[in-house]
Amino acid sequence: MYAQMVKSTGDAVKSREDMSDDERHFQDKVDANIKVEPRDWMPDDYRKTLIRQIGQHAHSEIVGQLPEGNWITRAPTLERKAILLAKVQDEAGHGLYLYCAAETLGVTRDELTEKLLSGRMKYSSIFNYPTLTWADMGAVGWLVDGAAIMNQVPLQRTSYGPYSRAMVRICKEESFHQRQGYAIMMKMAQGSPAQRKMAQDALNRMWYPSLMMFGPSDKDSVHSAQSMAWKIKINTNDELRQKFVNETVPQAEYLGLTIPDENLKFNEETGNYDFSQPDWDEFFEVLKGNGPCNTDRLNARRKAWDDGAWVREGLLAHAEKRAAAKVAAE
């Protein structure tokens, strides 16, 4: 997902007897679906885990601008260009909401940015894959935003108030993102032979990386169990992945495109599609920095940050001059 393999305490979830009074009171509140607000008492590890999760999510929105930004100047019509630009602009806005939510936990946007740029914080593996044809703009909206929605819709109910409210705003925009992607795929799939080929090729390349977005199976993970107890994670990775496959397969059929999985088959017994797992070795390589675009993506973000330093400093200096002049005048 946009936040993958977020580490929690690393310990098993505490039993009620082992909890302190504060912890028990906190857990009761979470269990009763009462939102935790910035000033409320919260376990240290809850705060730390949330900072990691929200920060990673925010970074994903920001780095996620790059693969789609790659096609803005080549968009084939004025309307497509405007839609894509609006979509990528939304993602920057999502990053902003999420950094603001993280700031309520006592970390600054600059601190988080510094951690991203130094490689100490991650962003979603999916954005380390290249966008090679215009059909990729379709596939990204359809599959990547589609997968993001699977995760973000339940997160609207997450226990931390500012995070939950950010998710509500984000989800409103995500369905437009997915629809514009699907609309591009539709045009391509119904278009010329070359367009159809681009559409199928995009699906071939994006399918397994999209499944990886949910992260490896975490049904036995202690990190995941703690995050679920705190309601900062609502479903297991496998549940969300299955839901995504179930919803996406009929959409691919409607497009007349073939999902690159020979084992894909509807299972009458379970009511789910059986499908092949992605190559998890590849996933871990991407996380380590060995995906096709890791270096380029980080370098692009570093360059934007470094090249922009004088702008940030200049505007700050101006604001300070203004403030000083105001004081002097009073």
Chain residues in the site for other proteins (CB under 8 A) = 62, 65-66, 69, 72-82, 85-86, 88-89, 92-93, 95-96, 99, 109, 134, 184, 187-188, 191-192, 194-195, 300, 303-305, 307-319, 321
Strand partners, 36: 160
Size of the site for Fe ion (CB under 5 A): 6
Residue 94's binding partner among Fe ion, other proteins, none (Cβ under 5 to 8 angstroms by kind) is Fe ion
- Contact letters (x/-) for Fe ion, 123-162, by CB under 5 A? ----------------------x-----------------
- When the beta carbons of 190 and 290 are compared against other proteins, the nearer one is 190
- When the beta carbons of 61 and 218 are compared against Fe ion, the nearer one is 61
- When the beta carbons of 59 and 230 are compared against Fe ion, the nearer one is 59
- Report the Cα 135 to chain-centroid distance in Å: 21
Stretch that binds Fe ion, among 90-98, 125-133, 230-238, 312-320 (CB under 5 A): 90-98
Q: How far is the CB of 294 from Fe ion (least distance, A)?
A: 20
Helix boundaries (H) for the chain: 21-31, 44-63, 65-69, 78-103, 109-117, 135-139, 146-155, 161-189, 193-212, 222-229, 237-255, 280-285, 294-307, 309-329
Q: How far is the CB of 206 from Fe ion (least distance, A)?
A: 15
Residue 65's binding partner among other proteins, Fe ion, none (Cβ under 5 to 8 angstroms by kind) is other proteins
Taking the C-alpha atoms of residue 231 and residue 101, their distance in angstroms, rounded to an integer, is: 16
Residue 307's binding partner among Fe ion, other proteins, none (Cβ under 5 to 8 angstroms by kind) is other proteins
| Longest pairwise C-alpha distance within the chain | 78
- Dihedrals φ, ψ of 160, to 5°? -85, 115
Residue 194's binding partner among other proteins, Fe ion, none (Cβ under 5 to 8 angstroms by kind) is other proteins
Taking the C-alpha atoms of residue 308 and residue 238, their distance in angstroms, rounded to an integer, is: 41
Residue 304's binding partner among Fe ion, other proteins, none (Cβ under 5 to 8 angstroms by kind) is other proteins
- When the beta carbons of 30 and 211 are compared against Fe ion, the nearer one is 211
- When the beta carbons of 2 and 26 are compared against Fe ion, the nearer one is 2
- Dihedrals φ, ψ of 98, to 5°? -70, -40
- When the beta carbons of 51 and 167 are compared against Fe ion, the nearer one is 167
- Dihedrals φ, ψ of 79, to 5°? -65, -45
Taking the C-alpha atoms of residue 116 and residue 101, their distance in angstroms, rounded to an integer, is: 17
In the region spanning residues 56 to 75, those forming contacts with Fe ion, defined by CB under 5 A, are 61
According to the binding rule CB under 5 A, does residue 91 interact with Fe ion?
Answer: yes
8 A C-beta contact, residue 227 and residue 8: yes
Q: How far is the CB of 53 from other proteins (least distance, A)?
A: 19
Q: Is 120 helix (H, G, I), strand (E, B) or coil?
A: coil
Taking the C-alpha atoms of residue 286 and residue 280, their distance in angstroms, rounded to an integer, is: 10
Six token digits for residue 313: 């400093």
Residue 145's binding partner among Fe ion, other proteins, none (Cβ under 5 to 8 angstroms by kind) is Fe ion
- When the beta carbons of 78 and 328 are compared against other proteins, the nearer one is 78
8 A C-beta contact, residue 224 and residue 236: yes
Closest to 126 in 3D by CA, of 212, 55, 245: 212
Percent helix, strand, coil in the chain, to 5, is 70, 0, 30
Q: How far is the CB of 98 from Fe ion (least distance, A)?
A: 9
- When the beta carbons of 42 and 140 are compared against other proteins, the nearer one is 140
Taking the C-alpha atoms of residue 239 and residue 236, their distance in angstroms, rounded to an integer, is: 5
Length of the chain: 330
Chain contacts with Fe ion (rule: CB under 5 A):
61, 91, 94, 145, 174, 177
